[in-house]
Amino acid sequence: MKSRKILYILFIAVLAFGCKSEDLGPSNDFYEYEASFASATGRILYPFGRYKLAALENNSNIIYNVDLEIKNEKDSEGFFIINGQCNANFYFAKFEADFVKQTVRINGVASTKIGGTYNELLFEKDFLERLSKVTSYQFSVDGTKLIFLLPTNDQKLIFDLNKN
């Protein structure tokens, strides 16, 4: 009886002290959808996921297909990875973020040079320049849009959450 009591106490001690909780950042399960809805609960908002460009500022007449993926993984230098496709070319960049403050710094924005029409390439150049200047992000109230904010002229890149 005494050994059973000691085992019970040891079991409780292991449960109480052996299970250490650490915030190691976002898990892959928190990848795409739940991050968008976290603001209502006061949790940290992680921008990881796949998106489609919906608008620049208040202009929703985007005629070009622009995909964005923010990966929940880091490269060998410790930066998170962004990649996507803008018209005919693929682009990529590195970013670091303060997820509590919802600030971000995007570095090394570059793209392939596959081609495209003159207007597609002008749009792509503008998009990539804007992307390289993003300083913070926020989500729409309903959690379906990721909004990248630029420091000047109230410029924004507004993305729809891609649920595919």
pLDDT surpassing 50 at residue 77 = yes
User: What's residue 68's pLDDT?
Assistant: 97
pLDDT-derived band of residue 13, with 50, 70 and 90 as boundaries?
very low
Give the model confidence (pLDDT) of 114-163 as tens digits: 989 999 999 999 999 999 999 999 999 888 999 999 998 789 999 999 87
Helices (H), 30-144: 118-132
Helices (H), the chain: 2-18, 118-132
Mean pLDDT of 70-87: 94
Mean pLDDT of 5-13: 50
Which neighbouring-strand residues pair with 86? 66, 89
pTM: 0.73
pLDDT surpassing 50 at residue 111 = yes
Q: Which of 34-48, 103-117, 142-156 has the lowest mean pLDDT?
A: 34-48
